Amino acid sequence: DDLLAATTGGPPRFFSPITSGTERVTTSTIDAATKPRMVYVPGLDGTGFAASAQFERLAVDFELVCLNVPVGDRSSFHELVTVVCEYLERDSVEETQFDRTNDGETKGKRTYLLGESMGGLIALGVAQRRPDLVNDLILVNPASSFDRSPWPAIGPLLPLLPEQMYAGLPYALAPVLFDPPRLLEGAIR
């Protein structure tokens, strides 16, 4: 999957942002089979582009997986929380999710849930609904003042926008949410 393939349509899905051919990633001292898992939940843009410069470094010490929410997807907050919970449930069945024995010993992979901006709210929702699936919760610039902003009133109206306007919304909001020159500089590197 391509990191910026947000217009491909379809439901929200998970992908690895690091291709197997990446040469620049330094070798980790952690065995790949025992690396903890980091699940990245992006902000409003749904792609994780804002954090993409960090992915190679994170992949040194983590098995990194990212949520991609295509531009045309209109999943609600609760639906996105469910998508992440279901992914973690499937993953835990496949990988013997974190389990504490009576003596406190840890078995299986640890799961770090990293939510950025609006993804921070989704990550909080996941941790609240299914704390058994999340070992560590990391919030980066979470949209935690959401209830004091105009978004609670405006948000429910967004799915009513015509498809073309809805698809352009992340681009229209980008200058408000990001520093465009810094974002461009990071993309060029």
Radius of gyration of the chain (CA): 17
8 Å CB contact between 111 and 133: yes
In whole angstroms, what separates CA 134 from the centre of its chain? Answer: 14
- Nearest residue to 44 (alpha-carbon basis) of 117, 95, 99, 98: 117
Domain boundaries, the chain: 6-18+31-98+105-144+154-188
Which fold, 6-18+31-98+105-144+154-188? Rossmann fold (3.40.50)
**Local confidence pLDDT in tens for the 189 residues of the chain:** 444 444 456 789 898 888 644 444 445 555 667 799 999 999 877 887 778 888 888 989 999 999 999 877 888 899 999 999 999 998 887 765 444 555 555 466 899 999 998 899 999 999 999 999 999 999 998 866 667 777 678 777 877 888 778 777 766 766 665 555 655 555 565
8 Å CB contact between 85 and 133: yes
Decide: helix, strand or coil at residue 53: helix
Q: Token pair of 168, please?
A: 């352009």
State pTM to two decimals: 0.67
